[in-house]
């Protein structure tokens, strides 16, 4: 084996060990939405959200945050709407806008760094978004 080949292999091994010693970025998020497809299921889901809101002491809307660097906004236009945002962890962002009557929606964010923006138009709609970031 020549001296140049040996130097080249040594350099390659050192470069490989340096590349592997740096920590890998493993950030990401997973999110899913639940939105009933018909009025019967929407009414049932809305009832579940309203029971949850009674348990948590929520009347029309609520934002609950535990962690640092979270931001949330809730806007409602209409009557009988229920909306809430729950953030646990750091660096979350969420907005919920409800336009219409008797809508119910919940946004639940856990972990870190999730972002959800929901607009609910019309009457008697319901749904929820669950997000987890790492």
- Residue length of the chain: 134
The burial class, CB within 10 Å (0-12 / 13-18 / 19+), for 120 is buried
pTM for this model (two decimals): 0.79
Beta strands 104-112 and 71-77, pairing class = unpaired
pLDDT at 19: 46
User: Mean pLDDT over residues 93-106, rounded?
Assistant: 98
Q: Residue 57 region, left (φ>0) first, then alpha (ψ -120 to 50), else beta?
A: left
Q: Residue 17: is its pLDDT beyond 50? A: no
Contacts of 134 (CB under 8 A, 6+ apart): 26, 27, 28, 29, 111, 112
Model pLDDT for residues 34-84, shown as the tens digit of each residue: 999 999 999 999 999 999 999 999 999 999 999 999 999 999 999 999 999
Provide mean pLDDT across the span 99-128: 97
Q: Where are the domains of the chain?
A: 38-133
């Amino acid at each position: 084996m020549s001296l140049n080949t040996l130097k080249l292999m040594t350099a390659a091994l050192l470069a490989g060990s340096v590349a592997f010693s740096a920590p890998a970025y493993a950030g990401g998020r997973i999110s899913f939405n639940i939105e009933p497809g018909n009025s019967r299921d929407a009414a049932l889901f809305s009832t579940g959200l309203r029971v949850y809101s009674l348990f948590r002491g929520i009347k029309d809307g609520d934002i609950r945050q535990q962690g640092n660097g979270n931001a949330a906004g809730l806007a409602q236009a209409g009557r009988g709407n229920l909306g809430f945002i729950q953030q646990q962890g750091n660096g979350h962002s969420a907005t919920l806008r409800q336009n219409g009557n008797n809508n119910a929606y919940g946004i639940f964010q856990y972990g870190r760094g999730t972002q959800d923006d929901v607009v609910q138009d019309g009457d008697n709609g319901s749904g929820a978004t669950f997000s987890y970031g790492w």
